[in-house]
Chain A
Amino acid sequence: MHIPDNYLSASTCAVLAIATAPVWIHSVKKVTREFPKERFSALGVAAAFSFLAMMFNVPLPGGTTGHAVGGTVLAVLLGPEAACLALSIALLIQALLFGDGGVLAFGANAFNMAFVLPFAGYYSYLAFRRVTRVLSGKSSEGGSLVPDCVAVALASYVGINLAALAAAVEFGVQPLLFTDGAGQALYCPYPLSVSIPAMAVGHLTLFGAAEVVFSVAVYAFIVKTAPDFAVNRAVFAPKSAEAQPDAESEKKSKFGPVYLLIALLVVCAPLGLLAEGTAWGEWGADEIAETVADGKTLGYTPAGMTDGFAWSALIPDYSTNGLPDWAAYVLSAIAGVALSVICFKLAAAFVKSEPSQQS
């Protein structure tokens, strides 16, 4: 779902970045106002989770690959605004350091994966939760892990599919808007009639399933082992006044199991290399001419791609010369996790406002 550079026109990228800007501003304001500074590291951990989820590629018959994002589960655990920021940082690190997703297309990727996915997933979750709790006869107070997991599963499925639909529409409008004199597309060459089914096939089946499995597993694990991590008061009932955490206990929150899970995901990251092939819409400029749609080979490389913007990432495609692929993949996973945490810890040092009590 990562849109590379030159698949969207610069104007499309700009429009989507401008469309995402108010969401970022709102998220930053809300998080700095309501998130305790001591909990900013949780945002880093959330970004790390998402970063790692996106490293586990799932193969689809036909040669394409996809991955989970984890946007919905983060929105449920931390709130959609916090998830938006965490996902944006994860996407930025991927684009700048690993060349996964375009630098110019960062606004578009953030629109799909850091705005549409967590917000759509979160509000779907609230709606599904009401239904699943009523159906299971559980009250709104605790002890309702199974119905909540079902709600998370349904919401994450809805979230990832809406994000994929947004990406498909962005791809699909390019040949309608930008063509050269010969009628050849300047950017993504596939119209809506191709892009929407192509994205839908993967996300309605395997990639959607991957998102569901990842989201439910992370949700159940965190609720059971590290409930301190789940700070979204709109979902997780606030503790009674006597049990409200003071500043000292905030600092000593137990994130140990969460760190263990991250370490496990880092070690297992090379499993993502088992999936061969390129995700739909993420071909290199050398690959796109050979792609087939509706039984026809494209046969040309769009001009916007041959003469477009090129960013040389430090660790391109999570691989580095001299190291075996699995080692480079683990190294990239560690780098991504560490940078995610560092970004939010630095942000915590510069946040001045005193957080108010969450309502």
Chain B
Amino acid sequence: MTEPRIPDWLLVEERREPPKDRDVFLRRSADALRALLREIRSAPERRHGKYAFSTTVRLAFTFVVVLLVSAARNFAFVELVGVGLLALLATYRSKKLVRVLAAPVQAFILAAIILAPSLFWGQTRAFVVVPCKAFITTAALAILAYSTNWNRFTCAFKAFGAPDALVFIFDLTLKYVVVLGEICLETLDAVRLRSVGRNRRKARTLGGVVGGVFWRAQKMAQEQYDAMTCRCFAGKYRRFRAPFRAADLLALALCLILIALFVYLEYAIRCSN
């Protein structure tokens, strides 16, 4: 009886070194999506404290701040609001601060780059004022977005008398960003896992991923419509009347003070001219 012999090919040490492959595009896209989904999922966990302003008042207050800062010609008003926002930001924890400040800092830098040529024409004031305004308005919106439970925006929109169609679109958008984001993430992971060897055309998969997600979105929208029709949803949202709290009164007073300051400072600058 002959002894079993190990085939030669099994004795040869296999040295497979796959060519270095770059998957920056896929990895970054997936990371960005994960961060977005994490943010949306954490939104419902945001607890509004006992003394916090209601979402409707927050929305109105932010709108007034953005409007007044954008319209202000007296830089003292911009400074005043900016200092108020800085004081509020100083109370935030480190991680939240980084998240809230990311967009305003980008807006500031972008505005400064766009306005950099104005320096050559001696318009130093515009170079200072516009980036500051961009920072403050973006910071106001970021503070609203990161400290408010997003589901309550639907409520707040309706309280302002927004058309049902708009409320419906906003409501569905929030939900579908999560659902479609997950589908997108799974597709990206699948593409990354199945991509064996050196593949220089990973960026070209974008069309396929987006197309696939779009097709599924269409299908899900139809299913959603059918399901809602079956449940007798006629596209009407009822107005939810949140109780008016003492904190809301404070916000209202603050809003009136801001408007009065705006008018006073604008009048002062007009008189000085």
Q: Which residues of A line the B interface, CB within 8 A? A: 37, 40, 44, 312, 314-315, 320-323, 328, 331, 334-335, 337-339, 341-342, 345-346, 348-350
Contact = CB atoms under 8 A, between A and B. Distances in A.
A346 B94 contact: yes
A342 B97 CA distance: 8
B95 A349 contact: yes
Given A331-B80, A346-B98, A349-B95, A341 B90 contact: yes
A337 B90 contact: yes
Contacts of B242: none
B83 A338 contact: yes
A183 to B, nearest CB: 36
Nearest to A48: B90
B110 interface: no
A318 to B, nearest CB: 11
A307 to B, nearest CB: 18
Interface string B76-112: 1101101100110110111101100100000000000
Contact of A349 (B74, B98, B265, B272): B98
A295 B124 CA distance: 41
Contacts of B260: none
A324 to B, nearest CB: 11
Interface of B: 74-77, 79-80, 82-83, 86-87, 89-90, 92-95, 97-98, 101, 124, 128, 132, 265, 268-269, 272
30 contacts: A37-B94, A44-B90, A315-B79, A320-B75, A320-B76, A321-B76, A321-B272, A322-B74, A322-B265, A322-B269, A323-B76, A323-B80, A323-B265, A331-B80, A331-B83, A334-B86, A334-B87, A335-B82, A335-B83, A337-B87, A337-B90, A338-B86, A338-B90, A341-B90, A342-B97, A345-B92, A345-B93, A345-B97, A346-B98, A350-B98
A314 B128 contact: yes
Q: Is the interface of B mostly helix, strand, loop or mixed?
A: helix
A334 B268 contact: no
Which residue, of B79, B94, B268, has the highest number of chain A Cβ atoms within 10 A? B94
Given A312-B128, A334-B87, 19 more contacts: A44-B90, A312-B124, A314-B132, A320-B75, A320-B76, A321-B269, A321-B272, A322-B269, A323-B80, A331-B79, A334-B86, A338-B83, A338-B87, A338-B90, A339-B86, A342-B86, A345-B90, A345-B92, A349-B97
Which residue, of B75, B86, B124, B132, has the highest number of chain A Cβ atoms within 10 A? B86
Contacts of A314: 79, 128, 132
B59 to A, nearest CB: 24
A321 B83 CA distance: 15
A313 to B, nearest CB: 10
Given A322-B268, A338-B89, A342-B86, A348 B94 contact: yes
Q: Which 5 pairs show the lowest CB-CB distances between chains A and B? A: A338-B86, A322-B76, A349-B94, A338-B90, A341-B90
A350 B77 CA distance: 33
B94 A40 contact: yes
Contacts of B83: 331, 334-335, 338
Contacts of A40: 94
A342 B80 CA distance: 17
A262 to B, nearest CB: 11
A135 to B, nearest CB: 42
Nearest to A342: B90
A246 B72 CA distance: 49
Contacts of B124: 312
Nearest to A331: B83
Which residue, of A328, A334, A350, has the highest number of chain B Cβ atoms within 10 A? A334
B171 to A, nearest CB: 33
A338 B79 CA distance: 13
A336 to B, nearest CB: 10
Nearest to B101: A346
Which residue, of B83, B124, B272, has the highest number of chain A Cβ atoms within 10 A? B83
Nearest to A41: B94
Contacts of A322: 74, 76-77, 265, 268-269
A346 B97 contact: yes
Contacts of B92: 345
A328 B83 CA distance: 11
A63 to B, nearest CB: 29
B136 to A, nearest CB: 12
Contact of B86 (A44, A315, A335, A349): A335
A338 B93 CA distance: 13
Contacts of B97: 342, 345-346, 349
A328 B76 CA distance: 9
A349 B92 CA distance: 12
Contacts of B272: 321
A205 B103 CA distance: 49
A216 to B, nearest CB: 27
A322 B261 CA distance: 10
B127 to A, nearest CB: 10
Contacts of A350: 98
Contact of A320 (B79, B89, B95, B101): B79
A338 B268 CA distance: 28
Nearest to A341: B90
Nearest to B265: A322
Contacts of B268: 322
A244 to B, nearest CB: 23
Contacts of B128: 312, 314
A309 B132 CA distance: 23
